[in-house]
Amino acid sequence: MSQAEAIGQARQWLAAAQSIAVLTGAGVSAESGVPTFRDALTGHWANFRPEELASEAGFRAQPQRVWDWYASRRDELKAVQPNAGHHALAQFQQRHPGRLTLITQNVDGLHQKAGSPGVLALHGDIHATRWLDGFPGGCSRANQADEVCDVSAASPGRPPRCETCGNLLRPSVVWFGEMLPIAELEAAQQAADHCDVMLVVGTSGVVYPAAGLAHQAREAGARVLVLNPAASDLDEIAHLLLRATAATGLPALLDGL
């Protein structure tokens, strides 16, 4: 089947689907100028060791280095805009409220910036911060609920620190070895279980449990579409492989539906 035929077939399935789940990864933001993780040369993990920059142990070992890395990524994102792929998804969601569940591994906020409602951000939000230690809203040395420290009152520093208890702020992203946010993961699993089409865009499909959502959808009977200019670990479960970039492939799939 040619790529044009594959796009045509995919559009038919999408048009007929009552429920669509979309799982995106770093590739959906590549054409906005955001580096991916595993692309050779340009990916973050081609240049840095994930266990140093994306784990609690790495942060505790070198808090300033890790804080500064996330701060520089946040700064780079200030000038970044959603691309035609983010917009095609957001516009489809606006035309068909409730029909498409958008699940992302990205922490860059670009789907939200494009206007997508209800994005399930499985790996957190790079623009948000939280305490390193302690329960949500609390902190390491607070023993009672009324002893909570306010993250907005953290004193400046790299990383900022609570003046009362000494707790450090950390980026509110999911690091290796950490749990995904439970409400988002459950909602994503529901969508995977009930969708007619699972569209996977711009992910290498090597990080679980996110990649498991595509398997889950396939096992539950959904058609699986993989949109990626290169091979990925999820190709083997795809009913259709769409070899295009996100900014060209997503409008080709969704515009006019």
Strands 124-131 and 223-227: unpaired
Is residue 32 near ligand OAD by the rule CB under 6 A? no
**Least distance to ligand OAD from the beta carbon of 64, Å?**
20
The reply on whether position 252 binds ligand OAD by CB under 6 A is: no
Do 232 and 58 meet the contact criterion of CB atoms below 8 Å apart? no
Beta strands in the chain (DSSP E): 20-24, 100-104, 120-121, 124-131, 169-173, 197-201, 223-227, 240-242
d(CA 181, CA 183): 6
Between residues 153 and 231, which has the closer beta carbon with respect to ligand OAD? 231
Cβ–Cβ under 8 Å, residues 101 and 188? yes
- The answer to whether 123 is a known catalytic residue is yes
Q: Closer to ligand OAD at the Cβ: 23 or 162?
A: 23
In the complex with ligand OAD, which residue's Cβ is closer, 23 or 154? 23
Work out whether 52 is an interface residue with ligand OAD (CB under 6 A).
Answer: no
Query: Closest-CB residue for ligand OAD?
Result: 27
CB of residue 156 vs ligand OAD: minimum separation in angstroms? Answer: 25
Q: State which residue, 149 or 225, has the beta carbon closest to ligand OAD.
A: 225
Residue with tokens 């492939």: 249
CB hemisphere CA count around 249 (13 angstroms): 25
CB of 140 to ligand OAD, least distance (A): 23
Backbone phi and psi for residue 197, each to the nearest 5 degrees, phi listed first? -130, 135
Which residues contribute to the site for ligand OAD (CB under 6 A)?
25-27, 30-31, 36-39, 43, 50, 54, 105, 123, 173-174, 202-204, 207, 228-230, 232, 245-246
